[in-house]
Structure 1
Amino acid sequence: MSEDTQKEAPLSTPSKSNAQINDGKNTSQQQEGGSTVTIFDVATEIEDMLNDINKQIEKNSEEVSKIVNKINDKLDKVDRKIRSQQ
């Protein structure tokens, strides 16, 4: 069979990780400003960003809950006042 007519083998999962093959060096590296940035650095940065977002969401959720509770308290007072006047 000629090279043009040969079928390519399907992709398979490698038996060793890239870190094992490259003596612990990650092959998904990118040169940026002279320093090496690994995929793990990027993943850590993304995780930190997501944690910060989650903290902000929790903080905002608590603030919204406090505001809603204050509104409910005011509505309860108005309701009691109206009922007492009837």
Structure 2
Amino acid sequence: MKGNLLPLYSHGKDKVIDVSGRELTLSAGLALTVADHDLDENGNTDRVFVTGTVVPRPAAFAHGRDWYLHIDLNGIRHESDLIST
């Protein structure tokens, strides 16, 4: 499971802000899509998306964030990969 975990950076203990500015409370089992800015090989904007389920920090992690995204089978995808041509 370690290789499929993305740390979630929260505002406060269990809060994140979504793209519309709303505050969400993180909890185990919450389905979530995370997006971030990225560039393609030509320097063009190509956002990256990751989907998965929120899980608490595993007991094996002595330190780290309180919450992680367990990445689903879709993995990490770029916006250009999601647009059908």
Higher relative contact order (CA 8 A, sep 6+): 2
Richer in strand (by share): 2
TM-score where L is the length of structure 2: 0.21
Richer in helix (by share): 1
